[in-house]
């Protein structure tokens, strides 16, 4: 059974809802980039689950690359401090690049990342994010594909962690207060 079920306060988005939404997003991306090939850039670690499922509903020639940046550490508040821990292996010049994100919270992480990637002169640069927290983006961001807008609560599951746990939950949920201490 679900090893983390006792820690979850409520399920915000079910596994079925996530899968249906990613299928829709994949179809849209397939239409928008018809006749082109795409480089998916995943932001580790959170995006690896979204990337795996989203990519399988994109019917285009795809290449994958990953970047690791840190903004949070184990805490649950954005620090605004972003560091590149692992850079891309691909040259982005003249490539169609789609950045895949798990969640856009303050937007600070993504803003930093997009500025950095734009400097490498891709042919196009867009973002697909599974989740966006509403009303709290500190920076203007143009997100081409967004799965769900969610309230400003800390969530886990489907790639998202608290202190490196809960990434393997197939749904998105909030934690019981007691789970933050365990
Ligand atoms: P931002 O810079 O505030 O947009 O934060 C972006 C990163 O913080 C995300 O890619 C996540 O790794 C992490 N993050 C933001 N909100 C949450 C959350 O509710 N749960 C888990 N991680 C989060
Ligand atoms: Mg995290």
pLDDT above 60 (res 91): yes
Domain carrying residue 50: 16-153
Q: Which ligand is nearest to the CA of 150?
A: 1
Q: Is residue 177 part of a domain?
A: no
Say which CATH number the domain at 62 has: 3.40.50.2020
Q: Is 62 a domain residue?
A: yes
Pocket residue to mutate for ligand 1, from 12, 160, 163, most atoms within 8 A of Cβ: 160
- What Cα–Cα distance (Å) separates residue 47 from each residue in 31, 36, 52? 22, 23, 9
Tens-digit pLDDT profile for residues 65-76: 999 987 655 455
Q: What is the pLDDT of residues 35-54, one digit of tens each?
A: 999 999 999 989 999 999 99
Query: Does residue 159 lie in a domain region?
Result: no
What sign has the CA pseudo-torsion 19, 14, 135, 73?
A: negative
Tally of domains within the chain? 1
Q: Answer whether residue 8 is part of any domain.
A: no
Instruction: Report the atom number in ligand 1 closest to the C-alpha of 162.
Output: 21
Q: Is residue 149 part of a domain?
A: yes
Ligand 2 centre and the CA of 108: distance in Å? 14
Pick from 51-55, 62-66, 137-141: least confident: 137-141
Largest separation between any pair of C-alpha atoms in the chain:
51
Query: 134 in a domain, yes or no?
Result: yes
User: Does residue 132 fall inside a structural domain?
Assistant: yes
């Amino acid at each position: 059974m679900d090893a983390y079920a006792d820690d979850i306060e409520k399920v915000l988005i079910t596994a079925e809802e996530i899968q249906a939404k990613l299928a829709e997003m994949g179809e849209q991306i397939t239409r928008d980039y018809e006749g082109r090939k795409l480089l998916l850039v995943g932001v580790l670690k959170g995006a690896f689950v979204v990337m795996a499922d989203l990519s399988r509903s994109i019917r285009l020639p795809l290449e994958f690359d990953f970047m690791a940046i840190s903004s949070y550490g184990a805490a649950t508040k954005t620090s605004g401090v972003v560091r590149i821990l692992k850079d891309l292996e691909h040259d982005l010049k003249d490539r169609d690049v789609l950045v895949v994100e798990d969640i856009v919270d303050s937007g600070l992480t993504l803003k930093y990342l997009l500025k950095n990637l734009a400097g490498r002169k891709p042919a196009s640069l867009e973002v697909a994010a599974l989740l966006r927290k509403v009303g709290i983006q500190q920076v203007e961001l143009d997100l081409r594909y967004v799965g769900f807008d969610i309230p400003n609560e800390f969530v886990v599951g489907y790639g998202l962690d608290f202190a490196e746990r809960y990434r393997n939950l197939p749904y998105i949920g909030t934690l019981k207060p007691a789970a933050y201490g365990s």
